[in-house]
Structure 1
Amino acid sequence: MKQVSVVMVTWVLFLIAHLGANAQSSEGRNVKWKVIDPLEIAVSYNKTSNLIFPFPIISVDRGSAAILAQKAKGAENILQVKAGRMNFTETNLSVITADAQLYSFLVDYSDEPSVLNVSFYKDTLRTASPVTLPKGQVNMQEYSNIADSVKKASSFLNYRTNEQKVRLSLRSIYVSENAMWFNFRIRNRSLIDYTPDYIRAFVRDKKKVKRTAIQEKEITPVFNIPYSSIKGRGDQHIVIAYPSFTIPKDQELVFQIGEKNGGRSLTLVLNHKAILQAKLLND
């Protein structure tokens, strides 16, 4: 009996060890994943469907040449889709946008699609984890969140200029994500709406040397909040991000805002000291 008991105990210990080893092995192979359900859409041979995304499109992949897809002219966030031939077999469409998100579709054919235009809001059809963007590619969702934070952050600057009852003022400069975030306020004190046409930023020499043209170095923004028309007696904040920079003492930073179909152009000039007043966001 003692021998039997010893054998039984030995067998139980072996079984426990074996099961424990298998459990550890299973845990080692455990992979977390999530199914992304595609959205079903129908397209026609004679009509164009429009998919409107909250951020610019950076990649489109068609499961079949039976569907045609292109970005709309003049709009980076609108994808136009239609059938390349009638009655094709169901296929798929994948779209990646600048906020590092994947949108997945199942595409079928219909002579008369019930829906032609679909507009997506933020946080719609998101992947379980963000798409990894190429090196140097800006994540527009993250930058949009930073811009919102800059708008809400404290204002500590008051550089300003006026033109025909329209005032442009620089309220703050914050540093975040290797970029400098300029928070402007445009106040329209007239009764006529003010619509910005363009915003330029460039660095130039303070003094012009005789017989020498003034050299201007354009600065390209990495992000800006879309701006719209400013109603009479209204105001608007515009946040623009540029790669972090400084300027020499003998140069100045110039911002120019032109009015669409109007003559109220605004020019704001800053020296090197103004740029050095930048603060860390959420400091």
Structure 2
Amino acid sequence: MKFASFTIISLLIVHFNAFSQQKIFDEIESSKPIAISDIKTTHLIFDDKIKYLDIGSRYFVTDTVENMVKIKHIGGDFTENEEETKTNITIITQSGDYHSIPLYFKRDITNTTYQLDPQKKSYNVSVKEDHRDMGKYEVCHFSRKAVSNYNIKGNTDLLLAKVSGIFYKGDYISIRVEIKNFSTIDLDIDHFLFRFIKNKRFAQDIVYQERVLRPVLVCNEAERVKGSGGIEVFSFVFDKFTPNNDEKLQIDILEKNGGRSTTITIPRKKLLQPETL
């Protein structure tokens, strides 16, 4: 009789613990965004300490403690700007696991703590990076937040585009581009083109092949700059490079299905004097 009673009590305890664990923790799915409130703090728990963190919107604030990330929305009156209600958070742990998780604002939320299971690959994007590759994410993070060290402008069709920073760290160079749209029509970006061009024009019988520079990482996934004063900031990370003596770097920003475009030209001297992060 005593043994039977003990068995029943043990089963009840196990059932209660399992139920509590299910309610307290929710697994993170990469395909399912996480709701973030302005009146409750959401906690993301990882299997290792946080090495790198970046969040795409200033309306979401974060703090880290060892292997835990705390997230909260600042609240306030919202406009139609998606930056105020939607973003994504990028996290790299000390063990090298890379996570990109979509977030959205919701005041009334039920789940406030999420625990990521590193064994479930469907919930986790694990990137096998060496030390060099990890550096590009650090350059991306710091170059977006660093104080402006240049103001190289290109201005056309009510679009103000400028290079506000050129940065260097280890094996990478980052170029930060800011676009402000003064038109009432949203700007849908087709692509950015980085190419080295010669300082002097050539005669018609001389052939010169331009060198195209391709980024290894782009630190903003936005494809649209809102009209009426909308701003987007892009940081482009490149493998370390230097221009030839007679070259300068031209950045072409082209509109999708439209005729608006703008160009920024960076002199060789400025490319050779980036700020060290």
Q: TM-score range by the shorter chain?
A: 0.5 to 0.7
| Structure 1 equivalent of residue 52 of structure 2 | none
Residue 241 of structure 1: how far off its partner (Å): 0.5
1:193 corresponds to which letter in structure 2? D
1:222 and 2:216 matched:
yes
Residue 158 of structure 1: how far off its partner (Å): 0.7
> What secondary structure does 1:200 align onto?
strand
Q: Cα RMSD (Å) of the superposition?
A: 3.6
> What secondary structure does 1:138 align onto?
helix
> What secondary structure does 2:211 align onto?
strand
Residue 127 of structure 1: how far off its partner (Å): 4.1
| Structure 2 equivalent of residue 252 of structure 1 | 248
Structure 2: distance between partners of 1:244 and 1:102 = 23
Structure 1: distance between partners of 2:30 and 2:126 = 20
Aligned mate of 1:268, from 254, 264, 269: 264
Aligned mate of 2:128, from 111, 130, 133: 133
| Structure 2 equivalent of residue 154 of structure 1 | 147
> What secondary structure does 2:186 align onto?
coil
Structure 1: distance between partners of 2:167 and 2:224 = 25
* Aligned residues of 1:159 and 1:170 also touching (Cα < 8 A): yes
Cα 1:134–1:236 shift into 2, 3 Å: closer
Which 5+ residue runs of structure 2 have no aligned equivalent? 1-25, 34-90, 104-113, 120-124
2:197 corresponds to which letter in structure 1? R
Structure 2: distance between partners of 1:101 and 1:149 = 19
1:138 corresponds to which letter in structure 2? D
Cα 1:227–1:246 shift into 2, 3 Å: same
| Structure 2 equivalent of residue 243 of structure 1 | 239
Cα 1:51–1:132 shift into 2, 3 Å: closer
> What secondary structure does 2:243 align onto?
coil
Aligned mate of 1:212, from 194, 206, 213: 206
1:219 corresponds to which letter in structure 2? L
TM-score in terms of structure 1 length: 0.53
* Aligned residues of 1:167 and 1:188 also touching (Cα < 8 A): yes
Structure 1: distance between partners of 2:189 and 2:244 = 29
Which 5+ residue runs of structure 1 have no aligned equivalent? 1-38, 41-49, 55-97, 104-118
> What secondary structure does 1:261 align onto?
coil
Residue 247 of structure 1: how far off its partner (Å): 1.0
Q: Quick check: which has more Rg, 1 or 2? A: 1
Cα 1:228–1:126 shift into 2, 3 Å: farther
Residue 244 of structure 1: how far off its partner (Å): 1.2
* Aligned residues of 1:157 and 1:172 also touching (Cα < 8 A): yes
What are the Cα deviations for residues 166-206 of structure 1, in whole angstroms up to 9, with x where unaligned?
A: 01100011112411111111011111111211011111222
Residue 214 of structure 1: how far off its partner (Å): 3.3
1:52 and 2:48 matched:
no
Cα 1:247–1:234 shift into 2, 3 Å: same
Structure 2: distance between partners of 1:277 and 1:53 = 43
Report how many aligned residue pairs link the two structures. Answer: 175
What are the Cα deviations for residues 106-141 of structure 1, in whole angstroms up to 9, with x where unaligned?
A: xxxxxxxxxxxxx9559962649x9672659834xx
1:52 corresponds to which letter in structure 2? S
Give the 5 Å matches for 1:77-116.
100-101=96-97
Cα 1:137–1:124 shift into 2, 3 Å: farther
Residue 209 of structure 1: how far off its partner (Å): 2.4
| Structure 1 equivalent of residue 186 of structure 2 | 193
| Structure 1 equivalent of residue 54 of structure 2 | none
Cα 1:120–1:148 shift into 2, 3 Å: closer
Structure 2: distance between partners of 1:228 and 1:222 = 18
Aligned mate of 2:164, from 143, 148, 171: 171
> What secondary structure does 1:148 align onto?
helix
1:278 corresponds to which letter in structure 2? P
TM-score in terms of structure 2 length: 0.54
Structure 1: distance between partners of 2:240 and 2:166 = 11
Cα 1:248–1:239 shift into 2, 3 Å: same
Cα 1:254–1:131 shift into 2, 3 Å: same
| Structure 2 equivalent of residue 46 of structure 1 | none
Structure 2: distance between partners of 1:238 and 1:186 = 8
Structure 1: distance between partners of 2:133 and 2:233 = 22
